[in-house]
Structure 1
Amino acid sequence: MTTSNPKPYTFPNGKIDLPQGERDGAVKYTDYALGKFINDAKKKPWFKNTVFVVVADHCASSAGKWEINIAKHHIPAIIYNLKQKPEEINRLTSQIDLMPSLFGYLNWTYNTSLYGKDINKTKVGEERAFIGNYRTLGLLRNDLFTQIDDRKRVKQFTVSPSDKSLQEVNFKNEDLVSETISYYQTASERFKNGKMKSK
């Protein structure tokens, strides 16, 4: 889905009825391409044993007034072709929660050092989301967003439930600051030392 967002917004001719070079056309082509891919897959003998995962990266114009614009990181994620009744989940999750949640749907038992959680096994109130860009990282928990960056600055914001706008707070929740730093710092250390590889 990321291909529908960056310029130059070009796509094969003759597939859709919108002009080249505009985001709307690229988005419509992405929709067409995903639909064609699934329809073609349905004709294959392996389709009935295949699960498809489609997830976005971030929304258009994700750079906003703040270093991280939470509203522009609200992305779609679809798990398709599970052998169960379709459902919609509106709880706070991250991209890293997608695979553990999928494994839960598949009833897999496994050992992992993943940082993600199965959303269906996450207690209400314990949801969190990791949001980041090139130089800034953050953790959203409930209505509080903790933001850290590569200049060792720490900020916290309350998040409006209606439009996800941010209001910086003066008194920091130090537990959330420590939690945010520890997630990213341990992930960095584990990656640098080869401990994130599958065995």
Structure 2
Amino acid sequence: MEPLRIHQGLVYPLNRANIDTDQIIPKQFLKRIERSGFGQFLFYHWRFDDNGNPREDFSLNDPKYQGASILVAGENFGCGSSREHAPWSVQDYGFRVIIAPSYADIFKNNCVKNGILAIQASEEQVQTIIKRAESDKYDLIVNLEDQVVYDNEGFEVKFDIAPYSKEMLLNGWDEIGVTLTYEEKIKQYELVKN
């Protein structure tokens, strides 16, 4: 995974609450086991009609959001089943950061394990970001080291993150990567054991 320290990106506003994992990645796409290739199915039933054609009435299909890497959504994002495919699809589509008032715990933990920073902000802060991103192309800067999100117009949001999660994201580690930081100790243990 790529380390995440300071990220500047275009914001995509999804002003909906209670977006569950089946809406993020529908169940018919869960047959694959690799982590890549799921971005094309992100929000599939919202993005495409029954014939697989892009829906003009779903904002992610709007060219102005092409290349967006920061997703801002309503409360309880990622609720529903615990499928890890949901953050895989979010990440594979190109989002590095999600900002919402609240998350389902399992989804938020799966985000960290897959290199996505899930920031919790107040409803008022989220709505400010959404309104700005709906009206025009809108970029945010996310500084994980200082735990702050800001724009060039004076808007700023400070956020909390668990130290372990922060370290994983800053270093680009998944749980295997964390284990490998103890490689020398593991080797020493195996030598003693044998």
TM-score of the pair, normalised by structure 1: 0.28
* Larger-Rg structure: 1
Judging by fraction of residues, say which structure has more helix: 2
Higher-RCO chain (CA-CA 8 Å, sequence separation at least 6): 2
TM-score of the pair, normalised by structure 2: 0.29
